[in-house]
Amino acid sequence: MTSSAKDIEGALAPAQTVLVVSHMRPDGDALGSTLAFARHLERLGKSVHTWNEDGMPEKFRYLPGSERITPPPSEPRAFDAVVAVDTSTRDRLGSCLDAISHAPLWINIDHHISNEGYGDLNLIDPSAPAAGQILFEYFESLGVALDEIMAGNLFAAISTDTGSFQYRGTDGRTFHAAARLVEAGVNVSALSQKMYDSHPRRHWNLLRHTLNTAQFLCQDRLAVFAVSRAEMAAMGALPEDTEGLITHLRAVEGVVVAAFYEELKDGMIRISVRSKNPSVNACEICQQFGGGGHPLAAGVRLRGSLEAVMEKFNATLCHEIERGN
């Protein structure tokens, strides 16, 4: 059952110390939503902590108040409440979970269709294209006046998760939120330049590698590429630099599904899947292997060598493309 903003605000009212967290390998929605909600709680006079397994990646340091996000501490801490945003399962919080010794109240605010509601109170809206939009509507329904920190983070969260207001789920509500956020002080061109026109050279090196090594399979309907740890190291690339590469493959005419395989340090392969056709459901495919996400954008982690995982998962994707067409 989904709780209302009023229920959640009421449950959080007595809490003095609150932790706001989001998923590992965070994107703009995860971090922007964390920062916006943390700011809201702080304005209510609470002591607020904000952690992410990966700390604050360099590429998102433009987010207002970004310096407050840290990796979890090594000594576990107790909180009156934990608020998880944009996080489909508790496991996706990674090492943050190990650093919470006690928390009697869990709030789960998310837009992933695969979210099963692990909170004591859950506000889950898969029709929202970003967790940031759910938070915007949360604040609007309670009449909370947004300051520039909240507005900037919510705009960045919504803009990045919708591919700059392009993806499925972008609707009148989304543009309503954007309009109110701009009125609250967001400078669209300055913020957009930081989000979309300020990639480090490392990202460009990785993009060149991607374009040189991508393969088109399944009668050119499946586009895939991979990067090994050795290649990442040789390019001096950081994990955060891989974000967005997959959009270049998905953008090729005729491609139905794009997949990206990234070798991680623990013998796992991180797979990102993007679909352009609603009848090829990326979330359902990833869920078969223990992952999740959205119908057109999902992910999963599998154990094995890069080659073996690619062979197996590419075959699954091609099978699903053939079934879906």
Q: Which residues bind Mn ion (CB under 5 A)?
A: 29, 86, 131, 161
User: Cβ 197 to Mn ion, closest distance in Å?
Assistant: 22
User: Cβ 170 to Mn ion, closest distance in Å?
Assistant: 13
133 vs 314, which CB is nearer to Mn ion? 133
User: Cβ 37 to Mn ion, closest distance in Å?
Assistant: 13
Compute the distance between CA of residue 259 and CA of residue 269 in angstroms, rounded to an integer.
12
273 vs 309, which CB is nearer to Mn ion? 273
161 vs 262, which CB is nearer to Mn ion? 161
275 vs 314, which CB is nearer to Mn ion? 275
Q: Judge contact between 88 and 115, C-beta under 8 A.
A: yes
- Token pair belonging to 235: 């390019």
131 vs 237, which CB is nearer to Mn ion? 131
29 vs 53, which CB is nearer to Mn ion? 29
User: Cβ 149 to Mn ion, closest distance in Å?
Assistant: 19
131 vs 317, which CB is nearer to Mn ion? 131
Compute the distance between CA of residue 161 and CA of residue 170 in angstroms, rounded to an integer.
10
Bridge partners of residue 83, in order along the sequence? 20, 107
User: Cβ 112 to Mn ion, closest distance in Å?
Assistant: 7
Label the pairing between strands 222-227 and 17-22. unpaired
User: Cβ 17 to Mn ion, closest distance in Å?
Assistant: 26
Locus of tokens 């005419």: 253
Q: Which residue is nearest to Mn ion (CB)?
A: 29
3-state per-residue secondary structure call for the chain: CCCCHHHHHHHHCCCCEEEEEECCCCCHHHHHHHHHHHHHHHHCCCEEEEECCCCCCHHHCCCCCHHHCECCCCCCEECCEEEEECCCCHHHHCHHHHCEEECCCEEEEECCCCCCCCCCEEEECCCCCCHHHHHHHHHHHHCCCCCHHHHHHHHHHHHHHCCCCCCCCCCHHHHHHHHHHHHCCCCHHHHHHHHHCCCCHHHHHHHHHHHHHCEEECCCCEEEEEECHHHHHHHCCCHHHHCCHHHHHHCCCCCCEEEEEEECCCCEEEEEEEECCCCCCHHHHHHHCCCEECCCEEEEEEECCHHHHHHHHHHHHHHHHHHHC
User: Cβ 156 to Mn ion, closest distance in Å?
Assistant: 12
User: Cβ 39 to Mn ion, closest distance in Å?
Assistant: 18
29 vs 54, which CB is nearer to Mn ion? 29
Q: What's CA 5's distance to the chain center, in Å?
A: 21
User: Cβ 134 to Mn ion, closest distance in Å?
Assistant: 9
86 vs 262, which CB is nearer to Mn ion? 86
